[in-house]
Amino acid sequence: MPECLFCKIISGDIPAKKAYDDDQILAFHDINPQAPVHILIIPKKHIPTVGNLEDPDYVVVGKMIKVAKTLAAENNITASGFRLVFNNNKDAGQVVFHLHLHLLGGRKFTWPPG
Ligand code: AMP
Ligand code: ZN
C-alpha cells in the first residue's frame, strides 16, 4: 500500500469528495477549505513537487490547468475570480508531497499572500 496520502486517495484507500476523475487526473474537495471553493487537482502519477517535473510531465500539468478552468466554470467563480496555487517545499508550506494544484475561489483574496 502506498505511503503517500494522495496516492491513497487515488487508490480509494482514503475517501475524498471527488470533483473530477479521468485516467490521468483526480480532483477532490480540500478537507480543510480555505475558501468557499477549495479543490485540489492532482496527477495520478506520483510527483512530489514542481521541482521534480520532467519533460513528459508538462502534458499532464497542462491538463491540470484545463481541469481547473472547467471546475472554476462549474463552481461559478470564473468571472468573480479564483486563485491557482502550487505550494512547493518548506517556505511555501507544502504539507503533502504529491503535486497538487489548489483551486480557490468564492471570496476576495489579498496580495501579497501570507
Ligand atoms: P499543501 O500545504 O499545499 O501541501 O496542501 C495540502 C492540502 O491537502 C491542505 O490544504 C489540506 O487541507 C489538504 N488535505 C490534507 N488531507 C486531505 C484529505 N484527506 N482530503 C482532502 N484534502 C486533504
Ligand atoms: Zn503520491
pLDDT tens track for 38-81: 999 999 999 999 999 999 999 999 999 999 999 999 999 999 99
Alpha helices (runs of H) in 27-99, residue ranges in sequence order: 58-74, 89-92
- pLDDT tops 60 at residue 28: yes
Please report whether residue 112 resides in a domain: no
- pLDDT tops 60 at residue 104: yes
Catalytic residues: 100
- pLDDT tops 70 at residue 1: no
Please report whether residue 114 resides in a domain: no
Q: Which residues surround ligand 2, an ion (CB under 5 A)?
A: 4, 6-7, 46, 98
The alpha carbon of 66 and the centre of ligand 2 are apart by a number of angstroms equal to 21
Number of domains in the chain: 1
Contact 108, 14 (CB under 8 A): no
CA distance 87 to 69: 19
Please report whether residue 111 resides in a domain: no
Q: Grid coordinates 518548506 are at which residue? A: 90
Q: What is the CATH classification number for the domain harbouring 33?
A: 3.30.428.10
User: Quick check: bond before 112 cis, omega within 30?
Assistant: yes
CA distance 15 to 9: 6
Domain of 35, in residue numbers: 5-105
The alpha carbon of 40 and the centre of ligand 2 are apart by a number of angstroms equal to 13
The alpha carbon of 20 and the centre of ligand 2 are apart by a number of angstroms equal to 17
Protein residue closest via CA to atom 2 of ligand 1: 94
Enter the pTM of the model.
0.98
Q: What is the pLDDT of residue 7?
A: 98
